[in-house]
């Protein structure tokens, strides 16, 4: 969400052309008071109940049950909300028709009257948070904030970095304000890391690839507490997801065939989309995981935004770089934590895979629209092919090789049923090299 | 001793001269005959050469005709063989109804009709707009719209406030789909710049809009509408802090 906010501060209507490289960013998002940011999250959440997001018919509810949004939102009226003026965050996104709201400190010590939100916003899918957290970014920034808070082992922070440090600690390493949407932790689930892993496991059936790093003062967790009392988790998601990517790749490879056999199977691709959609929606019955998803993706987007550009904290720690993974690597070196070696692929993939899985989940793919994934050039096809590349690079899951197989042989589903269920762990099943073959559409089989 | 008496020079003998003359005449006659013979041969050779050229011309035409006939014969034979092959295959398929079919031969996109192609384009457009709403750069496929309710004599209107275009194009159409499935199309005035573009829509009410599209002259979706026009109770929300009403209680 915070990356969206940063874009909105630059381009309130989201209709400006993309800026020429190098991409600029608005540092204002890190200068906003954390209470305003928290309110902005409440505002965006509440606003989602009043908008449609590029609806196609028939579209299933965005979050499992549309009533979950008003059910969990703060009261909005001046007479009913005991906290503030109707959820107005005071963050100026521009746009038409908005009344003044809160005060936004444009510069330290200076307040200006600004207006509020005018555009209903969707948010990323939970898999975005999973992919970003798999880079190790949370552990690195937790240690950075801790070092700045307890001593002077790092550089003296600038005022801009002080604002970032304060907002980060308030928003993500402290219990949120009472009764607010972001308050996921409690006496019953005190650790946000465990809460996130619990959500990943339930919805995606996958674990974050690194160990839980206990925060100072928190007990060390034994085993995998996020899997306790879960009941049903989508443990087949990984297997179906890989099958889907393989089937789409087969379609992409053969999209231009004018002669010879074409193993593309649109019906099978639709079936996989439908299975995944059904699986994800089952975990969202009654609005389950909606709030968790919103809070977790907001958390990850804050850290993602921090390393997306040379932000004040990155500059102060002399971690400037050319891409988020580069900056994260340098930040990790400062505090002795090494991020995932596949961090670059993970950062690139997070956005893409989030939108694609959201589209699958809300049921946009039908038998008639499945060819959009591979047959004709479009942003969608470009993104899906990029996801295939990046997923294979970051996980080691074999996708492209398995997309070509002996005609008449079964799909390699069974071979990968026991495959890894985390991003960076190596695939446990060796590549079945003896059964790999390429027919190249000629019927002549070449065993690799 | 006396020298021998000189002998007088002999006088031309009339017989020898005549013989010489006869010989010359004979030679002349032979030469004439020879010239005639040579001329005759040359004439005949010329005649034969002309005949040969004529024959060669005729032969070339014949060769060309034969080649053409050969090509035609080959084409006819190929067509006949193809027909025969197709008939044989058809007969084979008819006999072997259980023969597995080959997979789709050409691009699978060719198997879809116009309505399904429109669905595919709408999906891609939606995806682009979704990316834009998530704050990504690099997509250019949306516009922001608001609505204005008219009175009894004045139709409802859609205002195009901003978009990924500088001005509206020729032949553009605004397609409004409401939650209850009603669809209205209205021509978008060409050459207008947002936020001054207003499109009257011939629907009883443009509340509860489910989807808003701009399509080009061929009916292809170009831009997806977002913003206040697709939000219920947007005016109340726009003022900030007012209670959120149910969608059914949209302002009337």
Confidence (pLDDT) at B209: 77
Structure tokens at B205: 């009410």
CB contact under 8 A, A56 and B122: yes
B103 in a structural domain: no
Same domain, B166 and B229: yes
- Whether chain B has a CB inside 8 Å of the CB on A101: the answer is yes
| Cis? peptide before A58, omega within 30° of 0 | yes
Q: Which of B63, B97, B131 is the last residue of a domain?
A: B97
* pLDDT surpassing 80 at residue A110: no
Confidence (pLDDT) at A330: 93
B102 in a structural domain: no
Contacts of A15 in chain B (CB under 8 A): 142-144, 162-164
Confidence (pLDDT) at B89: 67
Could you read off the pLDDT of B102-126 as tens digits, one per residue?
333 334 445 677 888 888 888 888 8
Same domain, B244 and B123: yes
Confidence (pLDDT) at A111: 29
Could you read off the pLDDT of A349-381 as tens digits, one per residue?
999 999 899 889 888 888 888 888 888 888 889
Could you read off the pLDDT of A242-295 as tens digits, one per residue?
999 999 998 888 877 777 777 888 889 999 999 999 999 888 888 888 889 999
Q: Which of B97, B128, B148 is the last residue of a domain?
A: B97
Averaged pLDDT of chain A: 76
| Cis? peptide before A22, omega within 30° of 0 | yes
For residue B212, list its beta bridge partners: B176
B92 in a structural domain: yes
Residues A51, A250: Cα–Cα separation, whole Å: 37
Confidence (pLDDT) at A50: 59
Same domain, B73 and B166: no
Interface probe, candidates A45, A53, A54, chain B, greatest B C-beta count within 10 A: A54
- A15, A17, A122: residue with CB nearest B130: A122
Same domain, B68 and B142: no
B37 in a structural domain: yes
Query: At which residue do the structure tokens 């014949």 appear?
Result: B62
Could you read off the pLDDT of B188-205 as tens digits, one per residue?
888 887 766 777 777 666
B4 in a structural domain: no
Regarding an ipTM greater than 0.85, the answer is: no
Confidence (pLDDT) at A401: 77
Contacts of A273 in chain B (CB under 8 A): none
* Other residues' Cβ atoms within 10 Å of the Cβ of residue B43: 10
CB A114 within 8 A of CB A98: no
Same domain, B132 and B171: yes
Phi and psi angles of residue A344, each rounded to the nearest 5 degrees, phi first: -65, -45
**A257 torsion bin: left (phi>0), alpha (psi -120 to 50), beta (else):** beta
User: Which among B182, B223, B106, B206 has a CA at the least distance from the CA of A257?
Assistant: B106
Same domain, B143 and B232: yes
Residues B119, B124: Cα–Cα separation, whole Å: 9
Contacts of A47 in chain B (CB under 8 A): 237
Same domain, B122 and B240: yes
Residues B224, B111: Cα–Cα separation, whole Å: 26
Q: Give A 335-364 residues with CB within 8 A of chain B.
A: 351, 354-355, 358-359, 364
CB contact under 8 A, B211 and A6: no
Same domain, B32 and B155: no
**Arithmetic mean of pLDDT, A161-166:** 90
Same domain, B132 and B200: yes
Q: Give A 31-60 residues with CB within 8 A of chain B.
A: 46-47, 49-57
Range of B60's domain? 19-97
- Cα→Cα distances A426→A106, A227, A342, A423, B218, Å: 48, 22, 12, 8, 50
Same domain, B119 and B93: no
- Whether chain A has a CB inside 8 Å of the CB on B133: the answer is yes
B61 in a structural domain: yes
DSSP code at position A51? B
- How many structural domains compose chain B? 2
Could you read off the pLDDT of B54-103 as tens digits, one per residue?
888 888 888 888 888 888 888 888 888 888 777 776 665 554 443 333 33
Name the minimum distance, in Å, from the CA of B114 to any CA of chain A.
11
B222 in a structural domain: yes
B84 in a structural domain: yes
Same domain, B74 and B150: no
Same domain, B157 and B232: yes
Q: How confident is the model at residue B225 (pLDDT cuts 50, 70, 90)?
A: confident
Name the minimum distance, in Å, from the CA of B155 to any CA of chain A.
22
């Amino acid at each position: 969400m915070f990356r969206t906010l940063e874009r909105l501060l630059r381009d309130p209507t989201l209709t400006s052309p993309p800026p020429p490289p190098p991409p600029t960013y608005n540092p204002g998002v890190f200068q906003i008071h954390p209470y305003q940011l928290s309110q902005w999250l409440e505002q965006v959440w509440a606003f989602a109940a009043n908008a449609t997001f590029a609806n196609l018919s028939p579209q299933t509810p965005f979050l499992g049950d549309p009533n979950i949004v008003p059910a969990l939102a703060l009261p909005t009226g001046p007479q009913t909300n005991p906290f503030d003026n109707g959820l107005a965050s005071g963050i100026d996104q521009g746009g038409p028709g908005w009344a003044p709201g809160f005060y936004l400190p444009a510069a330290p010590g200076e307040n200006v009257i600004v207006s509020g939100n005018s555009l209903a916003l969707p948010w990323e899918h939970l898999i975005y948070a999973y992919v970003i957290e798999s880079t190790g970014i949370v552990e690195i920034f937790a240690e950075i904030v801790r070092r700045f808070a307890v001593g002077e082992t790092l550089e003296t922070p600038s005022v801009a970095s002080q604002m970032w440090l304060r907002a980060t600690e308030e928003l993500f390493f402290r219990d949120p304000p009472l009764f607010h949407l972001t308050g996921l932790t409690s006496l019953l689930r005190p650790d946000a890391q465990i809460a996130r892993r619990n959500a990943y496991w339930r919805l995606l059936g996958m674990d974050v690839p690194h160990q839980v790093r206990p925060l100072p003062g928190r007990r060390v967790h034994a085993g995998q507490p996020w899997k306790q009392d879960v009941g049903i988790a989508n443990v087949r998601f990984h297997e179906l997801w890989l099958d889907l990517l393989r089937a789409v790749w087969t379609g992409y490879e053969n999209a231009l065939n004018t002669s010879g056999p074409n193993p593309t199977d649109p019906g099978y691709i639709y079936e996989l989309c439908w299975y995944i959609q059904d699986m994800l929606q089952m975990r969202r019955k009654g609005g389950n995981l909606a709030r968790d998803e919103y809070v977790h993706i907001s958390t990850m987007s804050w850290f993602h935004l921090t390393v997306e550009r040379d932000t004040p904290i990155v500059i102060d720690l002399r971690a400037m770089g050319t891409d988020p993974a580069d900056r994260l690597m340098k930040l990790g070196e400062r505090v002795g934590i090494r991020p995932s070696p596949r961090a670059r692929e993970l950062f690139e993939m997070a956005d893409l895979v989030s939108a694609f899985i959201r589209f699958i989940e809300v049921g946009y793919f039908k038998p008639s629209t499945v060819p959009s994934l591979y047959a004709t050039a479009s942003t969608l096809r470009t993104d899906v092919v990029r996801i295939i590349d990046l997923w294979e690079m970051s996980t080691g899951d074999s996708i492209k090789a398995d997309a070509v197989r002996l005609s008449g042989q079964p799909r390699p589903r069974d071979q990968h049923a026991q495959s890894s269920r985390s991003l960076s762990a190596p695939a446990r099943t060796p590549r079945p090299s003896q059964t790999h073959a390429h027919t190249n559409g000629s019927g002549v089989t070449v065993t690799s | 001793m006396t020298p021998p008496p000189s002998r007088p020079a002999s006088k031309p003998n009339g017989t020898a001269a005549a013989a010489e003359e006869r010989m010359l005449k004979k030679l002349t006659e032979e030469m004439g005959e020879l010239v005639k013979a040579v001329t005759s041969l040359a004439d005949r050779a010329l005649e034969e050469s002309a005949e040969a050229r004529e024959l060669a011309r005729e032969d070339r035409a014949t060769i060309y005709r034969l080649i053409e006939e050969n090509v035609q014969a080959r084409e006819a034979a190929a067509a006949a063989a193809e027909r025969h092959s197709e008939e044989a295959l058809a007969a084979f398929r008819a006999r072997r109804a259980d023969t597995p079919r080959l997979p789709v031969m050409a691009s699978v996109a060719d198997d879809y009709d116009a309505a399904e192609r429109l669905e595919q384009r709408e999906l891609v457009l939606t995806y682009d707009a979704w990316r834009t709403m998530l704050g990504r750069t690099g997509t250019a496929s949306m516009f922001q719209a608001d609505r204005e309710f008219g009175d009894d004599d004045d139709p409802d209107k859609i205002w195009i406030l901003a978009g990924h275009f500088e001005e509206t194009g020729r032949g553009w159409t605004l397609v409004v789909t409401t939650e209850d499935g009603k669809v209205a199309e209205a021509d978008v005035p060409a050459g207008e710049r947002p936020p001054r573009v207003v499109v009257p829509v011939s629907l009883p009410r443009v509340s509860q809009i489910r989807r808003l599209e701009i399509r080009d002259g061929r009916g292809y979706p170009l831009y997806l509408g977002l913003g206040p026009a697709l939000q219920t109770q947007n005016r109340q929300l726009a003022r900030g802090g007012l209670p959120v009403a149910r969608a059914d209680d949209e302002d009337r």
